[in-house]
Structure 1
């Protein structure tokens, strides 16, 4: 169906979803105009027509990065910054042909696990500087592991 493009689940149990008809003009418009929104980038959902949306359980084996992102988010502190930085570094390495697509989640996972193992996640010490240090470390470590993976 490709109607729900993203969802955010909050700790109160509610979920907010971004829904629109399947049309790449909307995400491209968002990317080009962020933080503003491009008027009429795509047709809106037609809420006057009865429509059924079906959802399938997430296949964590096929999509391991989702569970990894949840783990980093639950750990808190600087773990999400490491996840994001390592992911961006791995995607760059993939586009450059240095690693395979399936290496991305493995390397990001290795970076997050190494970061968590060293206890660099205390929420009470979360500062902009701590996030920037974690970001730099995540990028450097992922680049290092990507070099080994090649």
Structure 2
């Protein structure tokens, strides 16, 4: 779900199954037909929202932390994640290696002294952080 400044929330809805996000992750940018039954909007329904399981989904906490740190950290997270997902799609790493590799690139960014704060942020800083993170991820993943 995405919440906007005006209070509106946009969500992608489906029956409670991980089949859809897994299928989309494995076949992006394509969608496989009939992975799960669609919602029947003619029937009354109850939706229940549970707290996020941070153990099962560690990348969520990582991106929240990158967002809190600000500066170039969200850019580094995104670039490292894209490289890891591409490596997974190419069959070069396991699905479970994605989060670990992104975490290692974020740790390297912290240690490198390359991080830029929000007050120092420029377009060049963002582009440099992206290039740096992609290079780090490729080296880490031995691509």
Q: Normalised by the size of structure 1, how large is the TM-score?
A: 0.68
Q: How does 1:68-83 map to 2 (within 5 A)?
A: 68-83=62-77
Provide the rounded CA distance (Å) in 2 between the counterparts of 1:78 and 1:140. Answer: 15
Provide the rounded CA distance (Å) in 2 between the counterparts of 1:15 and 1:113. Answer: 35
Q: Is the contact made by 1:82 and 1:135 (CA closer than 8 Å) also made in structure 2?
A: yes
Q: Is the contact made by 1:9 and 1:16 (CA closer than 8 Å) also made in structure 2?
A: yes
Q: Is the contact made by 1:86 and 1:111 (CA closer than 8 Å) also made in structure 2?
A: yes
Name the structure where strand makes up a greater proportion of residues: 1
Calculate the aligned-residue CA RMSD, in Å: 3.0
| Alignment correspondent of 1:123 | 118
Provide the rounded CA distance (Å) in 2 between the counterparts of 1:122 and 1:128. Answer: 13
The unaligned stretches of length 5 or more in structure 2 are 31-37
Provide the rounded CA distance (Å) in 1 between the counterparts of 2:131 and 2:124. Answer: 11
Q: Is the contact made by 1:21 and 1:45 (CA closer than 8 Å) also made in structure 2?
A: no
Provide the rounded CA distance (Å) in 1 between the counterparts of 2:56 and 2:14. Answer: 25
Q: Normalised by the size of structure 2, how large is the TM-score?
A: 0.71
Deviation at 1:104, TM superposition (A): 0.6
Number of corresponding residues: 124
Provide the rounded CA distance (Å) in 2 between the counterparts of 1:89 and 1:122. Answer: 23
The unaligned stretches of length 5 or more in structure 1 are 1-6, 33-42
* Secondary structure at the counterpart of residue 67 of structure 1: helix
